[in-house]
Each structure stands twice: as C-alpha cells, then as structure tokens.
C-alpha cells in the first residue's frame, strides 16, 4: 500500500477539505473555514472552565456521605458538558487546519479520538 496524501485520506473518510466558497471537496455545502475555526475554538474555551469547575465542586472522598451529597450531580453534569464540547470541537479544529497538518495531523487526530 503506497503513500496516500492527507486530502485523499480525508476524502475517503468522508471528511473533505473546506474551500473558501463554503463547500467541501466532497461536494456538500459547508460552513467557511474561519467560522468552523471560531466555533471550534469557542467550544474548547467553554470546555476548559466547565471541567475545572466540575473538578473543584466534586466530592474529595469516596465516602457514602460525600457521594450522596448535593455536589455530585452538578459536578458530573459539568464533566459531561466539558467532554461533549471537546468531542464536538476537536474534529472541527482539525478540519480547519487539515491543509497544514498533513498525514501526521490526520494520524494524530484519529489516534486521539480512539
């Protein structure tokens, strides 16, 4: 199996590259690269404080009294929100930078998500 450029791998996986006119190389309409980058960055900027606050209000011990306390549910909801924002935002960040990252960036993105 020969070396395949990152654009061919992205097209094969259905990712496609974003063009300045708002379409992807796969032919489907999509948002512009700058909008995708801004939304992905904003999602990641929201994920960090949610994860930090969730960690700060999480019970410190594993005793039954701490686990049934009122701070367990909000802390886990904040952790879930942070995780969801990261899962949604990282692929968008990769797609916005896929032209510059090449094959190594694609491998890193796939390894990180698995």
User: pLDDT tens across 39-81, in order?
Assistant: 899 999 999 999 999 999 888 877 787 777 777 888 889 999 9
pLDDT of residue 73: 83
Q: How many domains does the chain have?
A: 1
The answer to whether position 112 is within a domain reads no
- Of residues 104 and 12, more confidence is placed in 104
User: What is the length of the chain?
Assistant: 114
Distance of CA 39 to the CA centre of its chain: 11
Whether residue 114 is contained in a domain is answered as no
- Report whether 80 contacts 24 (CB < 8 A): no
Gyration radius (Cα) of the chain, Å: 19
Q: Which of 82, 77, 103 is nearest to 4 (CA)?
A: 103
Mean pLDDT of the chain: 76
Report if residue 15 sits inside a domain. yes
Q: Which of the pair, 2 or 21, is modelled with greater confidence?
A: 21
Pair 20, 32: CB distance under 8 Å: yes
27-50 average pLDDT score: 83
Whether 23 has a pLDDT exceeding 60, the answer reads no
Residue 38 maps to a domain: yes
Has residue 1 been placed in a domain?
no
Range of the domain at 25: 6-106
85 Cβ contact partners less than 8 Å away, ≥ 6 residues apart: 43, 44, 46, 47, 50
């Amino acid at each position: 199996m020969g070396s395949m450029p990152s654009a061919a791998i992205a097209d094969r996986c259905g990712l496609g590259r974003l063009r300045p006119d708002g379409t992807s190389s796969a032919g489907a309409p999509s948002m512009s690269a700058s909008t995708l980058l801004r939304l992905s960055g904003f999602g990641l900027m929201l994920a960090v404080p949610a994860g930090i606050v969730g960690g700060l209000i999480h019970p410190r011990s594993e005793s039954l009294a701490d686990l049934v306390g009122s701070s367990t549910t909000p802390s886990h909801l904040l952790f879930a929100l942070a995780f969801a924002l990261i899962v949604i935002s990282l692929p968008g960040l990769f797609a916005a930078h896929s032209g510059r990252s090449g094959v190594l960036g694609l491998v890193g993105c796939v390894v990180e998500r698995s």
